[in-house]
Amino acid sequence: MNKRKVQLQAGTARWRFYTVFGVISLVFCALLARAAYIQVISPDMLREQGDMRTHRTLSDTVLRGMITDRNGLELAISVPVNTVWADPKQIAQSKSLEKTREWRALADILRVDLNELTERVASNPNGRFVYLARQVSPAMADYVRHLKLPGVHLRPESKRYYPAAEVNAHLVGITNIDDIGIDGIEKLYNDALTGEEGKKSILRDAKGRIIEVLAEEESQQAKDVVLSIDQRIQTLAYQELKKAVQYYEADSGSVVAVDIESGELLAMVNSPSYNPNNRKTITAAAMRNRAITDTFEPGSSVKPLTVLAALEFGSVNANTIVNTAPGWLQIGGRRVSDSGQNHGKLTLDGVLKKSSNVGTTKLALELPTEQFLDVFYNAGFGSDTGTGLLGESSGIFYDRRRWSDFERATLSFGYGLSVTATQLAQAYATIGNGGIRRPLSILKLEQPLPGERVFSHSSSRQLLKMMEAVLDEDGSGHRAAVEGYRVAGKTGTSRKAVAGGYGNDYVGLFAGLAPISNPKLALVVLINNPKGDKYHGGEVAAPVFSKVMGGALQILNVPTDKNDDLQLAQVKEAQNDA
């Protein structure tokens, strides 16, 4: 009995031994298989998790570059702000939402509904990031910081600020909430203005201390963009234009100023404008830079080109007489008239001074068609001005083989083509530059871009002196006169086209340059659809031209060339003619 009991105990012991040995063997094999799997087959996952605990990538914030005017005045700058964000998982774990008083205070300072705010962080309790507010002010950020809500954090970023606001809005443009340019110069030169953030890969220990720098990339600082705009002239032009648009209840208006010698744009403004610092009020229509996008028939403002064509290719000279009697002309069953007036016999400067449609028609019809059209092409109509600005229109100038006499007649006084205010400014700058057309530049230049001679110097100078008569007391543009300066210019009044013909809306223009003795500045003023009895360019646009041109010449310290300085100016003018 005892022997059997001993044998039974011995069998039980062996069974237990084998069982324990088998279990230990299985555990060992499982551990060995797991180790092999981790070390050989799939080591990346744990390595990645380890890196997540110790490996960090730090970024150096690079502020967006500034946009300045030619004198270094800031037009667009980036200011440091903060973004408020939340970690929903941390909020859930810390039961942060139970602090109702602090969350109510946070909702009040961020100006959002409390229920909407808490729903945003509670809807995904396992999430790790959600925006609560973008680009908050430093005062708001300090308030959020003092609330000390678990799971609510601040992150530094930058916000674009435009000191001159609506004055430069159409030209400078705007960025979106992520500081990426979406319009104007901000978009055109976005890559240069953005730069690249620096990156540093580090290892941290359990206490968060940096123990090793694995890799480092240097940041590339953003570049500043220096515009050709003179903010003093820009502001003056905008103020005068805005007053005129409001006074005449016009739909809109534009002013463009060009440095004749270099082709740099010194001013480009539109009214109405918008405030880029308040995105809530911005509409797509308000953002349109009308000075380069909107086209119009220039009317009488291109009559100087017809006279120039006659001087270049015709048999006329400064003393030629054109008989405009009886004040109208029949062409192929249609009539060209001088608005019921009979100016009789006119010299070429008289044709411009009285703005005679009959006079320019007779000059145009005596010219070979191709040479007449070339003057308009050479002035830059039908092509871009070279600014590179986004959305710039090339206007409309038909390139067809056959032109009727009536079509050439209407072209001679500014119908049958469409141009932008910037194109017209370039054409006048070309005349003032002695017939050399330069591409326009929106960037400040160290030296002028290469130009192309498109008109003769002598014809351009003769035309300037003829255009001066337009500003005589009995001329159509006498309201554009500038005290102390000799000014050349031309009024323009064109009816706006509608389906089937022309309506009763008008565009009032004045384009000119000064001083005649040594031209420095070309200026175009456009008033679109003024209401009331006054709608002619000489009435609505010429006074704005006078104020802006006069102020700009003083800002640029351009010497006067009239009255007391007339003799000196005449000597300089003779040198220029030579």
Catalytic residue numbers?
A: 300
Strand partners, 404: none
Residue in 416, 333, 336, 424 with CA at minimum distance from that of residue 373: 416
Structure tokens at 155: 């992150």
Dmax (CA) of the chain: 156
Amino acid at 526: L
Query: How far is C-alpha 12 from the chain's CA centre?
Result: 94
β-strand pairing of 225-226 with 67-68: parallel
Length of the chain: 578
The DSSP element (H or E) to which 93 belongs, if any, is: helix 88-94
| Residue pair 293/395 in contact by the 8 Å Cβ criterion | no
| Residue pair 75/186 in contact by the 8 Å Cβ criterion | no
How far the first Cα of the chain sits from its last, in Å, is 145
Per the listing, tokens 């050989």 go with 40
What are the Cα distances from residue 240, in Å, to 527, 543, 549? Answer: 12, 9, 11
Provide CB contacts within 8 A for 470, sequence distance 6+: 352, 353, 355, 476, 477, 480, 488, 489, 490, 491
- Output phi, psi for 351, to 5 deg: -60, -45
Q: Is 4 exposed, middle or buried (0-12, 13-18, 19+ CB in 10 A)?
A: exposed
Rg of the chain over all Cα atoms, to the nearest angstrom: 37
The DSSP element (H or E) to which 337 belongs, if any, is: strand 334-337
- Output phi, psi for 318, to 5 deg: -60, -20
Q: DSSP 3-state assignment of 490?
A: strand
| Residue pair 300/492 in contact by the 8 Å Cβ criterion | yes
Provide CB contacts within 8 A for 418, sequence distance 6+: 295, 296, 297, 395, 396, 397
Query: How far is C-alpha 562 from the chain's CA centre?
Result: 37
Query: How far is C-alpha 172 from the chain's CA centre?
Result: 4
What are the Cα distances from residue 302, in Å, to 28, 333, 417, 424, 458? Answer: 97, 25, 10, 8, 19
Q: DSSP 3-state assignment of 394?
A: coil
Q: Is 318 exposed, middle or buried (0-12, 13-18, 19+ CB in 10 A)?
A: middle
